[in-house]
Amino acid sequence: MPFLDLDDARLWYIQEGSGPDIVWIPGGDNVAEDWADQIAAFSKDYRSTAFDPRGAGRTESRRPPPWSIADMARDCAELIRSRCKPPVVVAGLSMGSLVALQVAIDHPELVRCAIPLGTTAKATGFCRDWMIAEVEFRKAGGRLPPEFAIHHYGAFMYPSEVLGNDELWSRLKPFIARSYGEREGDYLVAQWQACIDFDVEGPLQSCQVPIHVIGFSQDMQTPPALGRRVAELAPRGAFHLLQGLAHLSLAGHRPEVVNGEIRRIVEQYHQELV
């Protein structure tokens, strides 16, 4: 089975395709297989690697929480060193976008370019308040019934096009249920607290890795203004706004739009990756 043994964890990962390496980093509550639409689209030209972060899926942490985004970035860096040919492209969504930024800052020799999607250098305003409220609710013993959790998180993850389209909603509902219907409170708190504590506004300003931020115009969870701020702080930052998409549109909703933008970015560096 594809585990990578680390000092204090067994990291579950998948690797498919051949060619230059792209490492896909899942968001909070998500796992490696949630990048299926991207792995399928890029497997002819690139080798794709994705892993389950601590607190989700089959990765086993021998060290209990708390974990930081820097801890998860070290996990990712070890995976890149052990199973890829650096420098690589790192692409991450949500919590995974924070990990991608941290890898670019802490391990720049491993990264040809970073593509954080739905990201922030530091959670502020509604984004921060919402995560704190979720964490406090769980710490107080709160638990969302599965049907309520599906609709609660579904509204945060997908745009009005999905919520107003019965066929689209029925197709995506099982995916939402798999990720968010049943969630262990302690691990949810551990992942989300790491996102609340994350702050790379200072280090980002001296990071020389090219950082291509992708934002989504209907992203409720991480409004695109936060991603634009990342691109402005990074010396080699660029901001790409996708209209009509939301936080999880890359999975099941409009993956072809997101994949097309990622491919346009990656192909700028193709000759340097081969």
Q: Which domains are assigned to the chain?
A: 3-121+199-273 (3.40.50.1820)
Does position 123 have pLDDT exceeding 90, yes or no?
yes
Q: What is the pLDDT of residue 251?
A: 93
Nearest to 55 by CA among 234, 216, 193: 193
Reported as a pLDDT band with limits 50, 70 and 90, residue 274 is low
Q: What was the pLDDT predicted at 272?
A: 74
Distance in angstroms (rounded) separating the CA atoms of residues 74 and 65: 15
Q: What is the mean pLDDT of residues 231-260?
A: 97
The model's confidence at residue 175, banded by pLDDT at 50, 70 and 90, is confident
Instruction: Burial-class residue 141 by CB neighbours within 10 Å (0-12, 13-18, 19+).
Output: exposed
Which pLDDT score, from 0 to 100, does residue 163 have? 94
**Lowest mean pLDDT across 22-36, 108-122, 171-185, 226-240:** 171-185
Categorize the per-residue pLDDT at 180 as very low, low, confident or very high, splitting at 50, 70 and 90: confident
Q: Residue 1 pLDDT more than 60?
A: no
Between the alpha carbon of residue 232 and those of residues 68, 77, 139, the distances in Å are 24, 25, 35
Of the candidate ranges 18-27, 79-88, 144-153, the one whose mean pLDDT is the lowest: 144-153
Mean pLDDT, residues 157-182 taken together? 90
State the pLDDT confidence band at 184, using cuts at 50, 70 and 90: low
Residue position matching structure tokens 């530091």: 122
At residue 273 the predicted structure's pLDDT band, cuts being 50, 70 and 90, is: low
Rounded distance, CA 37 to CA 201, Å? 31
Q: d(Cα 100, Cα 141) in Å, to the nearest integer?
A: 31
What is the C-alpha separation between 122 and 245, in angstroms, rounded? 22
Write the single-letter amino acid at 42. F
Q: Looking at residues 121-131, what average pLDDT do you find?
A: 96
Partners of residue 13 on adjacent β-strands: 51
Reduced 3-state DSSP string for 131-168:
HHHHHHHHHCCCCCCHHHHHHHHHHHHCCHHHHCCHHH
Using alpha carbons only, what angle is made at residue 231 by residues 26 and 112, rounded to the nearest 5 degrees?
Answer: 60
Residues ≥6 apart with Cβ < 8 Å to 261: 214, 240, 242
Residue 178's pLDDT is what?
83
Least confident piece of the model among 58-67, 112-121, 263-272: 263-272
Whether residue 224 has a cis bond before it, omega within 30° of 0: no
Distance CA 97, CA 213 (A): 9
The predicted model gives 5-34 an average pLDDT of 95
| Residue 189 contacts residue 135 (beta carbons within 8 Å) | yes
Identify the CA nearest to 117 among candidates 206, 273, 224: 224
Rg (Cα) of the chain, in Å, rounded? Answer: 17
Mean pLDDT for the chain overall: 94
- What six digits make up the tokens of 11? 């990291």
The C-alpha atoms of residue 136 and residue 140 are separated, in whole angstroms, by 6
Please determine, for residue 130, whether its predicted confidence score (pLDDT) is greater than 90: yes
Whole-number pLDDT of residue 29: 85
| Count, residues in the chain | 274
Q: Which tens digits make up the pLDDT trace of 62-102?
A: 999 999 999 999 999 999 999 999 999 999 999 999 999 99
Q: What token pair was written down for 163?
A: 């919520």
pTM of the complete model: 0.96
For residue 244 the two structure tokens come to 């009509």
**Per-residue pLDDT for 221 more than 70?**
yes
**What is the reported pLDDT for 4?**
95
- CA nearest 15: which of 60, 38, 47? 47
Smallest CA-to-CA distance from 51 within 70, 20, 73 is with 73
